[in-house]
Amino acid sequence: MKANRLKRSGRRINIPNKSQIIILFMFIFAIAIVAYIYSRPRISILPVKHIVFIGNKHLTDDELISLAGVHVGESLITISNRKVSQRLLKSPWIRSVSVRKEFPERLSVVIEESAPFALLDMNGHLFLLDEKGEFLEELKDDSIPFLPVITGDPFKERDGFSEAIKLAKFMTARGFLSGTDHIEIMIQKPHELALTIDGVVVKMGAGRYEEKLERLINLENEIKNRGIFVDYIDLRFANKAIVKPITSEAVK
């Protein structure tokens, strides 16, 4: 009787069975594995082993890798072609980008760079411009490529700068650069646009550049044949050219 009372009044102790012990052990083991994985550098799936750039002439591969924000060892799967393109297009030197994943280990990037079109001389600083008038970079060394020079401040004379770019395009297309040593276009009001060609001032004004350049070519031949020393040439008037010769006193 006494033993029965003790059995009823005592607490019942549950002893885990074998299957519960195994489940508990597996749970602890799984937590340990997860902790181990996250405490070490992640292993990339299909890691990039080769990053290849095609078409770059001005920008180096190292510069492009830095701009693109991709690295060898990064997973080819997780790389976003769109984001890589967006990062690269932030550089003014890059006109277009095509990114292609070549599984299992290669990222190929085709670059179309902007070409230097003209030099801007602004307040004693030289800048490379593309054909749209966008700044590419400031020249820091002494090596200056032979390009038409645009002189002035494009931020103060935006219309005049736009006309100077248009004129430079026409002159390049017409082949004026090949036969001259120095071409300089001065940024002014559009109707006052002028340039110097090998020291000769040519007043162009705005518009009708093809027609004006044709007249200039014909005038150059006549001036050379006559041996005239020219002060300036004015082509601003339709179907008319004014040639101001240097006086004999000025020549002496």
227/57: higher pLDDT: 57
Residue 84, domain CATH:
3.10.20.310
| Helix ranges, 13-142 (H) | 18-39, 61-68, 81-88
Within this chain, do residues 208 and 109 fall inside the same structural domain, yes or no?
A: no
pTM, entire model = 0.67
Q: Highest mean pLDDT range out of 27-41, 205-219, 234-248?
A: 205-219
Six-digit token string for 197: 């060609």
> 79-111 pLDDT, tens per residue?
999 999 999 999 999 999 999 999 999 999 999
Within this chain, do residues 193 and 223 fall inside the same structural domain, yes or no?
A: yes
Q: How confident is the model over 49-62, as a mean pLDDT? A: 93
Using DSSP's 3-state secondary structure scheme, residue 102 falls into: strand
Q: How confident is the model over 167-190, as a mean pLDDT? A: 81
d(CA 17, CA 23): 10
**Residue 155 covered by a domain:** yes
Residue 200, domain CATH:
3.40.50
**Residue 31 covered by a domain:** no
User: Of the ranges 1-10, 34-43, 59-68, which one carries the lowest mean pLDDT score?
Assistant: 1-10
Within this chain, do residues 206 and 231 fall inside the same structural domain, yes or no?
A: yes
Expressed as residue numbers, the domain containing 168 is: 118-251
Within this chain, do residues 131 and 237 fall inside the same structural domain, yes or no?
A: yes
Instruction: Label residue 250 by pLDDT band (50, 70, 90).
Output: very low
How open is the CA angle 46-52-56, to the nearest 5 degrees? 155
**Residue 20 covered by a domain:** no
Query: pLDDT at position 99, please?
Result: 95
35/2: higher pLDDT: 35
Within this chain, do residues 89 and 165 fall inside the same structural domain, yes or no?
A: no
Asked which of 83, 113, 143 is the last residue of a domain, the reply is 113
For the chain, the domain total comes to: 2
**Residue 234 covered by a domain:** yes
Asked which of 59, 81, 113 is the last residue of a domain, the reply is 113
Residue 112 above 70 pLDDT?
Answer: yes
